[in-house]
Amino acid sequence: MKNTRIIIAGDLLPMPCNYELFSAGDARALFGERLCDLFASADYRLCNFEGCFTDSDRPIEKVGPCIKAPMSTISAVKKLGIDYAALGNTHSMDYGRQGFLDTCRTLSENGIGWLGWGENADSVKSFAEIDADGRRIILYNTTERFENAPRADHPGVNLYDEYCVCREIKALRERCDFLIVLYHGGIEGTHFNSDTMRRRFHRMADNGADVVISQHTHAIGEEERYNGAYLLYGQGNFCFHFRPDVTPLLAEGLVLELEIGDSGFTAKPHRILRTEKGCVYDDEQELSAFYERSKTHDRLIAGDRDAKAEFDCQFGNDCDNWTNIFFSLFRGANPLDAEKRKTLSPAEFTEYLKNSYSRQQLLGMQMFMRNEEFNEVGNQILSDLLKKTDIKENLS
């Protein structure tokens, strides 16, 4: 049986800066000749659609951006040859039921399969099957919980529940020759994976996944070969120009090329670089930082304490970017904070916020974040408060 080649891209969604090129179907202008040729050389191509294709102007209520692209912009996606789209992610439910319906229709009309979400809690489509000339390949998509949970009467995504996901992966592996997991999760902006991510990836591999890839972090992480599986912790963006400023974090991404044969498979990452309107193939293929992190990761897995300390330290440094947001949310509508923001630098304001809490208060926050029971209690308290706030605003 001939080998099967699959190209997997990271986060993709048209943005205002390139709507015109996407609507015109100008894939060459968006992605360059070499990247388009790489996609054309594959048997199958898939990516993560980081949002929905809809013309609706009614986003859901949430903290953070609601992301969509006009339905007409699917033209360049089709031209690139995308066969399957993972939709179990952070932003796929940003425009509610209408966004779901519009996206499904747009993909169906353009011959693009999808996985990772469904009409309601009982009909979520977690996987797609490929018959590659007799070789059965399954694509599986799961995501962490955001504002995207399905309900009995509302669409949503395939949420990551370790027991359910691993059980399903194990059952699916028994009916296929190769299984690829697209996992949407992790901490945005982190180059170094966490204990939680490693544990989840290892368990999915132990239950039959041949390849596990994490998206969502918008940063390149590291690779690992574990128990016969290939694990990629952080693929970075493909073409996702949500932020106009090109930071080093957003300037690069990986496209993964898999070649699957009867006696095994190979996994080859290709570095891509962001451009003003899209992304192009990196002719230099400068991946030294990626491979260096991967070597350190291998040492960590082997029990090297220095490597573990380095990963923990670097992961903590990356998480520091969230400090300001985290503490500001807990401060409430404090007018003093607004005044402080005018006079302090971001670093100084973060320090001001951290010093606004006692050690016992910080320990209490950690308890609510860490303990499953208190996490549930905290979510219930916030849900009740939001209902009361909604009633108050409607009466005013």
Per-residue pLDDT reduced to its tens digit, 288-343: 999 999 999 999 999 999 999 999 999 888 888 887 777 777 777 778 787 887 88
Lowest mean pLDDT across 147-161, 226-240, 310-324? 310-324
* Pairing of β 264-274 and β 279-281: antiparallel
Q: Are residues 181 and 245 in the same domain?
A: yes
Instruction: Tell me: do 121 and 191 sit in the same domain.
Output: yes
* Band of pLDDT at residue 373, cut at 50, 70 and 90: low
pLDDT confidence tier of residue 148, bands split at 50, 70 and 90: confident
Full domain range(s) for residue 337 = 319-395
Residue 278 has pLDDT above 90, yes or no: yes
Confidence of residue 30 (pLDDT cuts 50, 70, 90): very high
Give yes or no: residues 272 and 379 share one domain: no
Residue with tokens 């800066």: 17
Q: Are residues 269 and 360 in the same domain?
A: no
Positions of E strands within the chain = 4-12, 44-49, 52-53, 68-69, 84-86, 113-115, 117-118, 124-125, 127-132, 135-143, 156-157, 178-184, 211-215, 220-226, 229-235, 237-239, 252-261, 264-274, 279-281
* Mean local confidence (pLDDT), 360-379: 74
Does 308 fall in a domain?
no
The pLDDT value given to residue 6: 98
Please check whether residues 327 and 232 belong to one and the same domain: no
Residue 30 forms part of a structural domain: yes
pLDDT at 136 over 60: yes
Residue written as token pair 């296929």: 176
**Domains: count for the chain:** 2
In a domain, 224, yes or no: yes
* Domain membership flag for residue 312: no
Same-domain status, 99 and 246: yes
Instruction: Give the pLDDT confidence of 67-98 residue by residue, as tens digits.
Output: 999 999 999 999 999 999 999 998 999 999 99
Give domain status of residue 20, yes or no.
yes
Same domain, 155 and 183: yes
Confirm whether 9 is domain-assigned. yes
Domain boundary among 257, 277, 302: 302
Q: What's residue 393's pLDDT?
A: 54
Local confidence band at 354 (pLDDT 50, 70, 90 cut-offs) = confident
Q: What is the pLDDT of residue 275?
A: 96
Please check whether residues 285 and 382 belong to one and the same domain: no
Residues 177 and 249 in one domain: yes
> Is residue 314 situated within a structural domain?
no
Domain end marker among 302, 330, 356: 302
Using the predicted structure, report yes or no on whether residue 345 has a pLDDT greater than 80: yes
pLDDT band of residue 352 (cuts 50, 70, 90) is confident
Q: Tell me, what CATH number does 60's domain have?
A: 3.60.21.10
